[in-house]
Structure 1
Amino acid sequence: MPGVPAPTQARPAHTSWRTLVGFAAIYAGAALVGRLTVLEGGEVSLVWPAAGVAVLWLAVRANGSLPRIDLAVLAAVTWVVNVMTGTPPPEALVLSAASVAQAGTFCVLFSRWCPRIWLGAGRTPFVRVEELWWLVLTAVVSSLVSGLLVPAVSWLSGDGWSWPLVLVWVVRNTVSILVVGTLGFSIGSWLHERRSAQARPGGSARWVPTRLGEHVAAVILPPAMYGLWFVALESLPLAFPLIALTVWTGTRLRTRFVVAHDSAMGVTAILFTLAGIGPFAAVGDQVTQVVVAQLYVGLVSVIGLALALARDERDRLVRDVRAAGDEARTQAGLLATIVDTMDEGVTVTDRDGRIVLRNRRASELMGGITSTTGAVAASSYYGLYRPDGSPLPDHELPYRRALAGEKVHDLDLLVRNVGVPRGRVLSFSSSLLPDEAGGGVVTVMRDVTAQREELTRAAQVQASLLPASLPDVPGYAVAARFSPAGSVGGDFYDWQPVFGGLVVTLADVMGKGTGAAILAATSRSVLRSFGPERDVAAALVAAEEAMEADLANAGAFVTVFHARIDITTGTVTYADAGHGLSLLVRADGGGERLPALGLPLGVDPGASRRSGTTHLDPGDLLLMFSDAVLDAIGGTVADLGVVEAAVRGTASADDAAQAVLTLVAGAGEQLDDLTVVAVRREDVRDLLR
């Protein structure tokens, strides 16, 4: 609970012999006082403050277990006091055992039921009503346990078993624990706070007077009222209206003052009763007199403290709520400041499209066009269009798509209105807010006009680097498809006719986007710079050496399939740097995969490279593709049979390339760059048809 100290993990040590002797002396004095209140003509004490002192004794001295020495001393002191005041030794022994049973039971139960108070070793005050109820329950149970031994006293004296004696014992000892216990815990915590304050440099414990007039009135008025009621109205057998004074003090004054006040009023009522004055003295039966008087004192103590603790809890709650409100307002102000200084526009809408929050940047990005109704307006009101310039239907507004359960991330829209006459491209991302936060949608928008223009230029540059036309190679047909996942990609392909043959290259740079596109362009340029007549494996070694620094700085690598085809013989000499995605589809129905012959460029610079050979017969197809195809069909090399089946039976290289593109498109969203190159050795029979 906020504002309530947590239980300490270790009890303060109060195990000195001086503490033991001091409590033994106080307990003996309390026992003597109790024995002096035996009603005239009877054997029953009206009060027994020693029960409350015993509880405080063990609360201060107990150290995680039953203090055997203390219990032994307590038993001895009880026996001595009872014997000294006229109780026969056997009966005094029973009373000693009952006192030890009560103190031990209280020690065990209270340490479990109310550990925060117990671990405080007499230094921790009651701060919650719940703790008071645990004290009441523990006092009743421990008094009842010990009270079951008490009738043995009357049995030893020959008077027989006496249940009224049990009732008197339970009520009297319970009230003693409540009154003396709460007063002792209150005084102990006050002394501890004073010592702690004085121990701090320049510190001192001072009471700040609050409601000073009421405190003064509480010192004067209740004793006067008790005196008037018990003396002047003693013939009126009714004292409970005086509890109104307790209610007043409990709801208005400081808790420690209430504890002291309740204890003083209880002592006042007992003293008047002992003097034979007041409504309790008028009760003829001794047992009833004791029970009624003790119940009154207990009620005064419990009601006053319960009201004070409830008021304190309410005040703490109010303070916590106010502090939380202040903190929330501070955080809200800080958040508003942060949101208003963001370069991104932020808009929060509820489920019905009403605008809950919108920063200045959101209005600026929309050209200053804002809704005047407090709700998101139609797309035409803002001048929102699709990237191709077509009108944006209202159901495609980002927040509506998010409410419909779609994932809206980096959605490009064009805004063109009087505030943005030339138009700008905004990227929208909308996410659903959790129900705990009230639901609705938060939308973040960014101005990506410059980036999109840069990507467009990069895409144009990348497109210019790709072969502009198909190679004219007698007896062979070549086709390609290129589809970047974004505006630009990290894949590239190339071909160069050479004397007596054709050099074909397909490469895939790790990643996608502008960075990958730059490395792809560099790879193409480097491979071309060494000339197509060089050995294919040597070309890859030279390219890796030239790009080693760039690849290391970017933390990237490049997979490459680089092949030279002898158009006369159909011999294919190839080097594969970690690519492994090339298929040879035979006209006779067979097929094979050309495996990787080394690691990708940039993984192990300086490693040797080797080449492999295969052969293209008339009607055979050499198919090269990037890993986007592999991802689309299942992600494993074992799934490449799906690609082989898709291209088998196609009539041309172009049909084969398109078949692969169609296969990938049917698999769903394209997450990576897609490149396909097909080389088919023409069959003369096909040419004659």
Structure 2
Amino acid sequence: MTTEPQAARARRPGARDVRVVLVFAALNVAASLLGRSTLVAGADVSLVWPAAGVSVLWLVARARRPWPWLDPLVLALSTGAVVAATGASVWTAVIGAGAATVQAVVCTWVLARRAPYVWAARGRQQLRRVADLWWFVLGAALSSVASAPLVELAVVVGGGPWTWETALLWCARNTVSIVGIGTLGFTIGAWLHQRASRRTAPERLAWWTDGKPADYLAALLLAPALYVVWFVEIDWVAVVFPLIGLTVWAGSRLPSRSVVLHTTLCGYVAIQLTLGGTGPFSDLPDATAQVGVAQLYVGLITVIGLALAIARDERLRLVADLQAARDRAQAQATLLTTVVDTMSEGVRVVDGAGRVVVRNPTAGLLLTGRPDTGPGDEDLAHLARMDGTAVPEAELPFRRALAGEQVRDADLLVRVPGATEPRIVTFSATPLPSASGGGAVTVLRDVTAERTELRRAAQVQASLLPSLALDVPGLDLAARFVPAGSVGGDFYDWQAVADGLVLTLADVMGKGPAAAILAATTRSVLHAQPALHDVAGTLAATERAMTADLANAGAFVTMFRAYVDAADGTVSYTDAGHGLSLIVGADGAARRLSATGLPLGIAPGPARVSARTRLDPGDVLVTFSDGVLDALGGSLGDLDQVGRALRGTDTAEEAAEAVLQLVDPRHPADDDLTVVALRRAA
């Protein structure tokens, strides 16, 4: 993959690139001519050099453009041409041009690494942090120091003497030029970039002066005028420094872009008056010292003013961001409060100590009968277990959540004062992360009507199950049924026939009322079949009768149906996708009765087949739903537990109970649990 610098080198400059190079080349020539007009007599060194700042702006404006080598080359050629045309020798011009180019490259290198957003914006972004200002000043100083030896060499080659004053003048004037002109250029670039969205003249002016008019009048007009008066009337150098107070005042009250204008105007007045031999710096022994110190003074006020202004801008941005964040948080809090208060479920939030911090009106109604959202902790005084006994403190849902437990659908009674009947409320509590301060959130829901309906449905379902075991000589029969909810899709049945009985266990896909309705329908269709001995034919006829119902419900039924001959223990069975039936001997050895076909409703049509086995004296035929298998572990290998559990049982009741005892009571089953046990007497 081609990297960005490689891609930039591979592209050819466009018309815009050519315009940028030509514009900055013209600016560099003009700035160099201006600087060469202030030559020091006998040293061929200028007192001011605005081209230093222009050259840095040039390279920044061409950041990440095609042919990056083009800009230093044109910069060196244009600078050398001006120096040679204004009286310097060829070698002096070449070396001086090299020094100017090295300085620009070093300074932009520092800026690109320490203030990359300015570099990436190509001069259309102001300095936004005080730290970036210091890096810019450091880059300007380092680049001036790095190029100073070449300037000394140019002076010597031109026939002048080697002096420290020349190097110091070069470093002082160029550092000040880069900082002053560079920040002014960034500000102008940002303003030009903003013009597209600020179409009217007042709006463009407001970008520069967006504060009190009196402040800008004082900073941009009165302060430069005061400099003129001060420099004309006072010629003592120590007295000039009180003028710094004007810049301190401006930096503390105006945005950085306006402070740039202030320092530029004041600095221009100070330099020009000093070049004319007027002002406090004119008492110094020579022109080089006068202008050098004046430029250091200008650099000082520029850095002080910008540091204060940028810090002020940062502070205002931070305040604005905090205000915006507070407004967003307030809006979100208002929205969240509205959502919570209008929820049909109750919400109760406690902190790590168990104190109520949020309670919506629904929770107040459910717990106290009043839509009170206050933080009172007495709202749980009316709770009771489903059997009517008091709830211990440790068993309260929010206490369990504070202890780290996830509470799901815990039903409790709430006896609201004045109500004729208690209501059933289900609680779900979740611990809050400690990083958020800890605590727990509890969601409450009134399930009184739902539980009443399910309880009635469970009563109807229970009435359909056999209430008494059959009295068949030589056979002992028992069953256990534990629905996952109040009703389920499991059912069992037995019917007496000549010489034995017919045993059925079925499991409708799913749970709840829908599964219970299909289970009741399946039982009714089974009871309507005439030939009970023919278990395969009975299942086939049942499937044909229920095909449409099962297809409409998108459900299926697994079923085990067996005819057991009481005289010889012969078992004729058909297993429709159930596969959870065992014959367990007295020693605990178990053999599984495999399925003989698919569940009812999967692929109606093929004839059902039956299989035969034998129940020896003392053996137990046990069949159970897949809810039991899931509770045991979920794999057929877990069925070995059933054989071990039945070893030593003497009755069918003991066998059925032993299977249920394998289910861990601490983990509620997700599916119905049904067990039917048939024992042949020894």
TM-score by length of 2: 0.91
Question: Which residue number corresponds to residue 460 of structure 2?
Answer: 461
Superposition deviation, residue 585 in structure 1: 1.4
Superposition deviation, residue 263 in structure 1: 0.9
Question: Which residue number corresponds to residue 125 of structure 1?
Answer: 126
Question: Which residue number corresponds to residue 15 of structure 1?
Answer: 16
**Deviation digits for residues 61-93 of structure 1 (CA, Å, limit 9, x no counterpart):** 344466322322211111111112222111111
Question: Is the contact between residue 123 and residue 185 of structure 2 (CA under 8 Å) also seen in structure 1?
Answer: yes
Distance in 1 of aligned mates of 2:66 and 2:170: 26
Superposition deviation, residue 402 in structure 1: 1.3
Question: Which residue number corresponds to residue 3 of structure 2?
Answer: none
Amino acid at match of 2:48: V
Amino acid at match of 1:401: R
How has the CA–CA distance of structure 1 residues 359 and 651 changed in structure 2, closer, same or farther, with 3 Å as cutoff? same
SS of the counterpart of 1:560?
strand
Distance in 2 of aligned mates of 1:670 and 1:299: 80
Distance in 2 of aligned mates of 1:586 and 1:91: 114
How has the CA–CA distance of structure 1 residues 209 and 105 changed in structure 2, closer, same or farther, with 3 Å as cutoff? closer
Superposition deviation, residue 392 in structure 1: 1.8
Superposition deviation, residue 494 in structure 1: 0.7
TM-score by length of 1: 0.90
> How is 1:454-493 mapped onto 2 (pairs within 5 angstroms)?
454-493=453-492
How has the CA–CA distance of structure 1 residues 165 and 551 changed in structure 2, closer, same or farther, with 3 Å as cutoff? farther
Question: Is the contact between residue 359 and residue 373 of structure 2 (CA under 8 Å) also seen in structure 1?
Answer: no
Question: Which residue number corresponds to residue 540 of structure 1?
Answer: 539
**Deviation digits for residues 291-339 of structure 1 (CA, Å, limit 9, x no counterpart):** 5333222222222222222222222222222222222222222222222
Superposition deviation, residue 41 in structure 1: 5.4
Question: Which residue number corresponds to residue 451 of structure 1?
Answer: 450
Matched, 1:73 2:74: yes
**Deviation digits for residues 387-415 of structure 1 (CA, Å, limit 9, x no counterpart):** 11111223322222211222222111111
Question: Is the contact between residue 367 and residue 419 of structure 1 (CA under 8 Å) also seen in structure 2?
Answer: no
Amino acid at match of 2:358: L
Question: Is the contact between residue 13 and residue 61 of structure 1 (CA under 8 Å) also seen in structure 2?
Answer: no
Superposition deviation, residue 557 in structure 1: 2.7
> How is 1:52-131 mapped onto 2 (pairs within 5 angstroms)?
52-64=53-65, 67-131=68-132
Question: Which residue number corresponds to residue 385 of structure 1?
Answer: 384
How has the CA–CA distance of structure 1 residues 474 and 338 changed in structure 2, closer, same or farther, with 3 Å as cutoff? same
Distance in 2 of aligned mates of 1:13 and 1:332: 53
Question: Which residue number corresponds to residue 5 of structure 1?
Answer: none
Higher mean alpha-carbon deviation, 126-135 vs 471-480, is at: 126-135
> How is 1:31-70 mapped onto 2 (pairs within 5 angstroms)?
31-40=32-41, 42-64=43-65, 67-70=68-71
Superposition deviation, residue 436 in structure 1: 4.1
How has the CA–CA distance of structure 1 residues 556 and 283 changed in structure 2, closer, same or farther, with 3 Å as cutoff? farther
Question: Is the contact between residue 255 and residue 312 of structure 2 (CA under 8 Å) also seen in structure 1?
Answer: no
Superposition deviation, residue 643 in structure 1: 0.8
Distance in 2 of aligned mates of 1:428 and 1:89: 93
Question: Which residue number corresponds to residue 359 of structure 1?
Answer: 360
Distance in 2 of aligned mates of 1:144 and 1:110: 16
How has the CA–CA distance of structure 1 residues 13 and 61 changed in structure 2, closer, same or farther, with 3 Å as cutoff? farther
Distance in 1 of aligned mates of 2:286 and 2:609: 117
SS of the counterpart of 1:410?
strand
Higher mean alpha-carbon deviation, 438-447 vs 667-676, is at: 667-676
Amino acid at match of 1:678: A
Distance in 1 of aligned mates of 2:421 and 2:127: 72
- Could you tell me which runs of 5 or more consecutive residues in structure 1 were left unpaired when the two chains were aligned: 1-8, 684-689
Question: Which residue number corresponds to residue 429 of structure 2?
Answer: 430
Question: Which residue number corresponds to residue 411 of structure 1?
Answer: 410
Superposition deviation, residue 39 in structure 1: 3.5
Amino acid at match of 1:93: V
Question: Which residue number corresponds to residue 181 of structure 1?
Answer: 182
Matched, 1:580 2:579: yes
Distance in 1 of aligned mates of 2:414 and 2:587: 57
> How is 1:324-343 mapped onto 2 (pairs within 5 angstroms)?
324-343=325-344
Higher mean alpha-carbon deviation, 86-95 vs 438-447, is at: 438-447
Higher mean alpha-carbon deviation, 13-22 vs 596-605, is at: 13-22
- Could you tell me which runs of 5 or more consecutive residues in structure 2 were left unpaired when the two chains were aligned: 1-6
Distance in 2 of aligned mates of 1:203 and 1:266: 27
Question: Is the contact between residue 273 and residue 280 of structure 1 (CA under 8 Å) also seen in structure 2?
Answer: yes
Question: Which residue number corresponds to residue 146 of structure 1?
Answer: 147
Superposition deviation, residue 211 in structure 1: 0.2
Question: Which residue number corresponds to residue 551 of structure 1?
Answer: 550
SS of the counterpart of 2:421?
strand
Question: Is the contact between residue 42 and residue 160 of structure 2 (CA under 8 Å) also seen in structure 1?
Answer: no
Distance in 2 of aligned mates of 1:372 and 1:635: 46
Distance in 2 of aligned mates of 1:444 and 1:137: 61
How has the CA–CA distance of structure 1 residues 321 and 549 changed in structure 2, closer, same or farther, with 3 Å as cutoff? farther
Question: Which residue number corresponds to residue 274 of structure 2?
Answer: 273
Question: Which residue number corresponds to residue 4 of structure 2?
Answer: none
Matched, 1:231 2:229: no
Distance in 1 of aligned mates of 2:315 and 2:604: 73
Question: Is the contact between residue 365 and residue 372 of structure 2 (CA under 8 Å) also seen in structure 1?
Answer: no
How has the CA–CA distance of structure 1 residues 419 and 212 changed in structure 2, closer, same or farther, with 3 Å as cutoff? farther
How has the CA–CA distance of structure 1 residues 275 and 230 changed in structure 2, closer, same or farther, with 3 Å as cutoff? same
Superposition deviation, residue 471 in structure 1: 0.9
Aligned residues: 671
How has the CA–CA distance of structure 1 residues 39 and 554 changed in structure 2, closer, same or farther, with 3 Å as cutoff? farther
Amino acid at match of 1:126: L
Amino acid at match of 1:639: D
How has the CA–CA distance of structure 1 residues 294 and 342 changed in structure 2, closer, same or farther, with 3 Å as cutoff? same
SS of the counterpart of 2:282?
coil
Question: Is the contact between residue 378 and residue 394 of structure 1 (CA under 8 Å) also seen in structure 2?
Answer: no
Distance in 2 of aligned mates of 1:457 and 1:545: 30
Question: Is the contact between residue 88 and residue 158 of structure 2 (CA under 8 Å) also seen in structure 1?
Answer: no
Question: Which residue number corresponds to residue 651 of structure 1?
Answer: 650
How has the CA–CA distance of structure 1 residues 297 and 534 changed in structure 2, closer, same or farther, with 3 Å as cutoff? farther
> How is 1:198-237 mapped onto 2 (pairs within 5 angstroms)?
198=199, 205=204, 207=206, 210-237=211-238
How has the CA–CA distance of structure 1 residues 149 and 367 changed in structure 2, closer, same or farther, with 3 Å as cutoff? same
Question: Which residue number corresponds to residue 604 of structure 1?
Answer: 603
Question: Is the contact between residue 403 and residue 440 of structure 1 (CA under 8 Å) also seen in structure 2?
Answer: yes
* Identity fraction in percent: 53
Amino acid at match of 1:540: L
How has the CA–CA distance of structure 1 residues 446 and 225 changed in structure 2, closer, same or farther, with 3 Å as cutoff? same
